[in-house]
Amino acid sequence: MSPDVLLPTAPIVRPDKDRFLNEENPFEAMMSRFDQAADLLDLEPGIYKVLRHPEKQIITSIPVMLDNGDVEVFKGIRVLYNTSRGPAKGGIRFDMNVTLDEVTALAAWMTWKCAVVNIPFGGAKGGVVCDPLKMSVGELERLTRRYTASIIQTLGPDSDVPAPDVNTNERVMAWIMDTYSMHMRHTVTAVVTGKPIEMGGSQGRREATGRGCMIVTKQALAHLGMPVKGTTVAVQGFGNVGSVAAQLLAREGCKIVAISDRTGGVYNAKGIDVDAAIAHVAKHRTLEGFKAGDAITNEQLLVQEVDVLLPGALENVITTKNAAQIRAKVICEGANGPTTAAADSILDDKGIFVIPDILANAGGVTVSYFEWVQDRGGYFWTEKRVNESLTEIMEQSFDAVLSLAKQHKVNMRTAAYMLSISRVATVHRLRGIYA
**Residues classed as catalytic:** 125
Q: Name the pairing type of β-strands 264-267 and 294-296.
A: antiparallel
At position 81, the amino acid (one-letter code) is: Y
Question: Nearest Cα to 40, choosing from 433, 377, 431, 411?
Answer: 411
Q: Name the pairing type of β-strands 71-82 and 122-129.
A: antiparallel
CA distance readout (Å), 392 to 216, 245, 260: 11, 18, 30
* Alpha carbons 53 and 47: distance in angstroms, whole number: 10
Question: Nearest Cα to 26, choosing from 121, 96, 77, 100?
Answer: 100
Neighbours of 364 (CB within 10 A): 28
Neighbours of 397 (CB within 10 A): 27
* Alpha carbons 54 and 108: distance in angstroms, whole number: 8
Taking the alpha carbons at both ends of the chain, their separation in whole angstroms is 31
Kind and range of the H or E run holding 260: strand 255-261
Q: What is the DSSP letter of 16?
A: S
Question: Nearest Cα to 119, choosing from 74, 95, 86?
Answer: 86
* Alpha carbons 85 and 83: distance in angstroms, whole number: 6
Angle of the 26-41 helix axis to the 341-349 helix axis, nearest 10: 60
Q: Name the pairing type of β-strands 71-82 and 56-65.
A: antiparallel
Neighbours of 249 (CB within 10 A): 25
Question: Nearest Cα to 162, choosing from 127, 187, 182, 192?
Answer: 192
CA 298 to centroid of chain Cα atoms: 20
